[in-house]
Amino acid sequence: MIVLWRITERCDLACGFCAYDRRLRRTRHDADVGSIRRFAAVLGALQRRTGERVLLSWLGGEPLRWTPLFALCEELRRDHALSLSLTTNGSTLDRATVRAAILANLSELTVSVDGFAEFHDRTRGRAGLWQRIRDGVVALARDRDPSGLRLRANVVLMRDNLEDFPALCAELADWGIDEITFNALGGRDRPEFHPAHRLRTDDTRRLAEGVAPLRDRLALRGVRLCGGQSYLSRIHAAAEGRALSVGDCAPAERFLFVDEQGRLAPCSFTCGDYGVHVDEVQTLEDLFALPGRFRAARTRAPAPTCGDCPSNHVFAKFASR
């Protein structure tokens, strides 16, 4: 079971494609620590009952800027033996104390890297950020135990950086990155940014043609490039403007999303349509009832987003074929 929890809407960067850009006037909620503790106990019980690994992964905003983070991580590891991960913009990876806490508490770290220094720093609105990320990742790769932290890089692909993607992947391999994932630039968060930067159909065809040989080259260096064929097809369909609906995404069977307000849903796009507050899930029986609750909610009133599903995990983002 993978549970993604967006714990804060706060961020220190100014990314033109992101809803959490620090320049935007918007809500900046944080998750409730008590709710996290209560639901983590249920997840721990699930892990003990089934023997299935539960990965609880923090998202933002920027989760490394959320003050309670590492004390809570230590507690959840100690009390419930949960595996923990997070996705970061990397702005604090230059701090030795942050890296030490990451190594002590996380099994996976995903770092956002969209290109080489000039492009990445300009796109993210922070001079020197790329070098800070590089130095931090290299230090983490050097200091981790051989069987410890998995380092992943995620790249937001747009027409501006697509040509550099293979060279960027080689650079990330030099840093000690174990796994590389990618997203196509989406337009839901910042529709004003999307038209001038989105991937076009010719771009997505080139991407699909280049993934297999790039994957093979990276594999020789011990690096896994993710993105299965259905994922590439999803990206191409989006470039064409062609909707892809999913009849049954197996809600809450292998994946759950929780937002900063505590709404638990099949994905980040359906919290407002199908969301159940996480405090309602107090027992394993409550957890096991969620798939049926979500399917019933969709039958009663389908979320508009389900008619063109944008959820990467549904389309095998993390597959390697």
CB 136 within 8 A of CB 90: yes
Read off the pLDDT of residues 16-64 as tens digits, 9 standing for 90 and up: 999 999 999 999 999 999 999 999 999 999 999 999 999 999 999 999 9
Would you state the pLDDT for residue 231?
96
Structure tokens at 109: 């770290």
Q: Please give the pLDDT value at position 247.
A: 84
Residue 238 has pLDDT above 90, yes or no: yes
User: Residue 320 has what pLDDT?
Assistant: 82
Q: What does the pLDDT read at residue 97?
A: 98
Question: Residues of the chain with pLDDT > 70: what percent?
Answer: 100
Three-class secondary structure assignment of the chain: CEEEEECECCCCCCCCCCCCCCCCCCCCCECCHHHHHHHHHHHHHHHHHHCCCCEEEEECCCHHHCCCHHHHHHHHHHHHCCEEEEEECCCCCCCHHHHHHHHHHCCEEEEECCCCHHHHHHHHCCCCHHHHHHHHHHHHHHHCCCCCCEEEEEEEECCCCHHHHHHHHHHHHHHCCCEEEEEECCCCCCCCCHHHHCCCHHHHHHHHHHHHHHHHHHHCCCCEECCCHHHHHHHHHHHHCCCCCCCCCCCCCCEEEECCCCEEECCCCCHHHHCEEHHHCCCHHHHHCHHHHHHHHHHHCCCHHHHHCCCHHHHCCCCCC
* Rounded Cα–Cα distance for residues 48 and 90 (Å): 33
State the Cα–Cα distance between residues 33 and 8, nearest whole angstrom: 11
| Whether residue 235 has pLDDT greater than 90 | yes
Quote the percentage of the chain above a pLDDT of 90: 97
Residue 146 is predicted with a pLDDT of 84
Give the type of residue at 180. I
What are the pLDDT digits (tens) for 158-172? 999 999 999 999 999
Tell me the pairing of strands 255-258 and 224-225.
Answer: unpaired
Residue 147 pLDDT more than 90?
Answer: no
Which amino acid does the sequence have at 218?
L
Average pLDDT over residues 280-308: 96
Closest CA to 11 of 115, 125, 134: 125
Predicted TM-score of the model (pTM): 0.96
Q: What is the largest CA-CA distance in the chain?
A: 52
- Tell whether the model's pLDDT for residue 273 goes beyond 90: yes
Q: Are strands 2-6 and 150-157 parallel, antiparallel or unpaired?
A: unpaired
Which of 163, 183, 214 has the alpha carbon at shortest distance from 318? 183
What φ, ψ does residue 54 adopt, rounded to 5°? -110, 125
Q: Residue 271: pLDDT above 90? A: yes
Confidence at residue 95, expressed as pLDDT on a 0 to 100 scale = 97
Task: Report the mean per-residue pLDDT for the chain.
Answer: 97
Predicted pLDDT of residue 132 = 97
Q: Quick one: pLDDT at residue 169?
A: 98
